[in-house]
């Protein structure tokens, strides 16, 4: 079985300084060893009707579902979560065990 992935799609509220949210997330994931990798990006191409208002994607990779659970209940995550939540207009979460078909070179 592959890595455990936590996919987060968000639309930030009007006026939110996205770089501040990203800085908080980067600090959080670098301080907690449960996170194997963290990637994010802003939508650049999708038509509005296809992205349904979501503007940013975040992918956190963990070795296991148990590492994700430990991350989710960690005091540093619990401290940051309300700050992140208050900046969000809409959110979609999706958690899954990754099936790798073509590894990166």
The domain spanning residue 12 has which CATH number?
3.30.70.100
Residue 1 has pLDDT above 70, yes or no: no
Q: Which residue has the tokens 């963990």?
A: 62
Q: Record the pTM.
A: 0.89
Q: What residues make up the domain containing 74?
A: 4-97
What span, in angstroms and rounded, lies between the C-alpha atoms of 31 and 26? 9
Structural domain contains residue 38: yes
Structural domain contains residue 59: yes
What's the average model confidence in pLDDT over 49-68? Answer: 92
Structural domain contains residue 12: yes
What span, in angstroms and rounded, lies between the C-alpha atoms of 82 and 8? 15
What total of structural domains would you count in the chain? 1
Structural domain contains residue 66: yes
């Amino acid at each position: 079985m592959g890595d455990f992935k936590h996919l987060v799609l968000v639309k930030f509220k009007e006026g939110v300084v996205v770089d501040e949210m990203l800085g908080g997330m980067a600090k959080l994931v670098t301080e907690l060893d449960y996170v194997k990798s963290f990637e994010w990006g802003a939508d650049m191409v999708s038509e509005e009707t296809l992205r349904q208002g979501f503007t940013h994607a975040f992918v956190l990779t963990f070795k296991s579902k148990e590492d994700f659970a430990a991350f989710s209940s960690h005091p540093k995550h619990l401290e940051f979560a309300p700050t992140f939540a208050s900046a969000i207009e809409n959110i979609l979460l999706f958690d899954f065990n990754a099936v790798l078909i073509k590894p990166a070179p």
